[in-house]
Amino acid sequence: MTTGIWVLGDQLWAGQSALASCQSAQRETPVILIESRDYARQHRYHRQKLVLIWSAMRHFAAALRADGWSVTYTIADDFGTPLHQWIQANKITEVRVMYPNNHPFRQIINNLQLGCPLHFVPNNHFLWRTEDFQQWATSRKRLLLEDFYRTGRREFKILMHQDQPIGGQWNFDSQNRQPPKGQLNPPSALWFEPDAITQAVIQEVQALDFPGYGALEPFRWGVTRASALAVLDHFVAHGLPSFGPLQDAMVTQEETMWHSLVSPYLNLGLLQPREVITAVETAYLNHNLALNSVEGFIRQVLGWREYMNGLYHYLKDDYGQSNWFHHTEPLPAFYWDSTQTNLNCLRQILSQVEKTGYAHHIQRLMVLSNFALIVGVSPQEIEGWFHAAFVDAYDWVMQTNVIGMGQFADGGILASKPYAASANYIKKMSDYCSHCYYNANDRTGEQACPFNFFYWDFLDRHQEKLKSIGRMNVLLGNLNRMDADDLDKMRVLAEAWRQQHRQQG
């Protein structure tokens, strides 16, 4: 009897459950990692995303070999062919895989005919087990993030004094929404020079025979656990002390602000959520850091990340096809080429994504996703773009985050109201509007900001549906008091813009 372990590309942790299940027999346990070129063709992935994942996989394979595992590393078109060869060569009688976190990949594995039993080992890359989240969710009338977050704080004893939150309140979000004013001095991000393995991957991605997206170089992401730990340490020392107040701010030429940049490493398995939370909480306790910064960051990992993953596995398999507003507009071409828009906020953020595969959460939600929502872009098209464009994006992240939170396509399962906003929000929280062709104050006319006329057009088009959402009543009241001629002009501007961009697409 020979058990073999297949390590997937987002499960790069020595303590992952499939490897842990054979830890005592690691020298006799064959391990395989596979780069599939056909799988990489499924989306027009950011070139740096491919480099990050494949280089991290190769480095992880080397680390496993150094630790005494017998590792096969294969580059192939598909997964089935190298798996069959590996099973036969090693006389494997059972294949173990840590349960894949993404539904489509689970289906790929289920469709493989391996010739021997395949056993899924429960996934241990999250604090909440899938069954524990399901038990929490089925016992509640509402699935609110804040309720889940408070349960997690109590369960894992994070920032708690007995049964009460440290500081006397659970949430310091009101202190963490400051607009950028005056001279800012954010810390430099910790980046890395590509080593020989990464340089080889860069050359291979450059030579691929299918289209990619974004700039391939300079590639500056870490690809090892040591690098991921260094990024975490760098954030705790330099970003965390001032993280909170300006975490929602957006500034020209500032790619990372005070953000941690740990999400790509968490989602690959190079970092674990508990160690990230512990590092931040320990820094707070040892160095008397501002509680609003510490709590704000922990909420992103213990709250948002765990909540999104839990919902992804709890909701029905067809959740990704949700389209409550029946939006069908094509994704504007400038999402793939930032030079095609003269909206400065979009151009700034999209050019940054092209260069790095990264943008922070407010850039994603309140600019990139917001614009697609108010234009009426198909939720599946914008979700597909997010999945391809960001180095930290996977199906489990993007379905809930884009379909549910960003596009409100689930009708309110995840969010309590649509994240739709006019140019006022961007003007307040960034410096983008001061360098734009459009006027952030204008709703009509030649230089009217598209965020303005699309926002009111969105409310107008969907007011019957939106009436069912209590938090929208004030905004709908403002819509009904609007001058009819102004609203007609905005409808015309919105439709003309859509027509123009349909033709460009």
Q: Is the pLDDT of residue 121 over 70?
A: yes
Place of tokens 């839990």: 310
Name the pLDDT band for 504 (thresholds 50, 70, 90).
confident
Other Cβ atoms less than 10 A from the Cβ of 349: the count is 23
Interval 449-473 mean pLDDT: 96
Q: Is the pLDDT of residue 31 over 70?
A: yes
Interval 129-158 mean pLDDT: 95
Per-residue pLDDT, 218: 98
HSE-up of residue 327 (Cα within 13 Å, Cβ side):
31
In the chain, the domains with their CATH numbers are 3-121 (3.40.50.620), 130-314 (1.25.40.80), 321-504 (1.10.579.10)
Q: Is 404 exposed, middle or buried (0-12, 13-18, 19+ CB in 10 A)?
A: buried
Per-residue pLDDT, 481: 96
| Distance between CA atoms of residues 330 and 379, nearest Å | 10
Per-residue pLDDT, 371: 98
Place of tokens 């199906």: 395
Name the pLDDT band for 139 (thresholds 50, 70, 90).
confident
Taking all residues of the chain, what is their mean pLDDT, rounded to a whole number? 96
Q: Which pLDDT tens digit goes with each residue over 468-494? A: 999 999 999 999 999 999 999 999 999
Q: Which pLDDT tens digit goes with each residue over 256-266? A: 999 999 999 99
Per-residue pLDDT, 379: 98
Per-residue pLDDT, 505: 66
Q: Are 277 and 404 in contact (CB under 8 A)?
A: no
| Distance between CA atoms of residues 13 and 266, nearest Å | 10
Q: Which pLDDT tens digit goes with each residue over 337-387? A: 999 999 999 999 999 999 999 999 999 999 999 999 999 999 999 999 999
Per-residue pLDDT, 142: 86
Percentage with pLDDT > 90 across the chain = 97
Q: Which pLDDT tens digit goes with each residue over 208-219? A: 999 899 999 999
Whole-Å CA distances, 36 to 81, 82, 246, 374: 10, 10, 40, 37
Percentage with pLDDT > 70 across the chain = 100
Non-local CB neighbours of 468 within 8 Å, separated by 6+ positions: none
Q: Which pLDDT tens digit goes with each residue over 89-99? A: 999 999 999 99
* pTM of the model as a whole: 0.96
For residue 373, what is the enclosing H or E element? helix 370-375
Q: Are 4 and 31 in contact (CB under 8 A)?
A: yes
Per-residue pLDDT, 137: 95
Q: Is 314 exposed, middle or buried (0-12, 13-18, 19+ CB in 10 A)?
A: middle
Handedness of CA 496, 499, 504, 505 (dihedral sign): positive
Q: Which pLDDT tens digit goes with each residue over 152-178? A: 999 999 999 999 999 999 999 999 999
Q: Are 298 and 280 in contact (CB under 8 A)?
A: yes
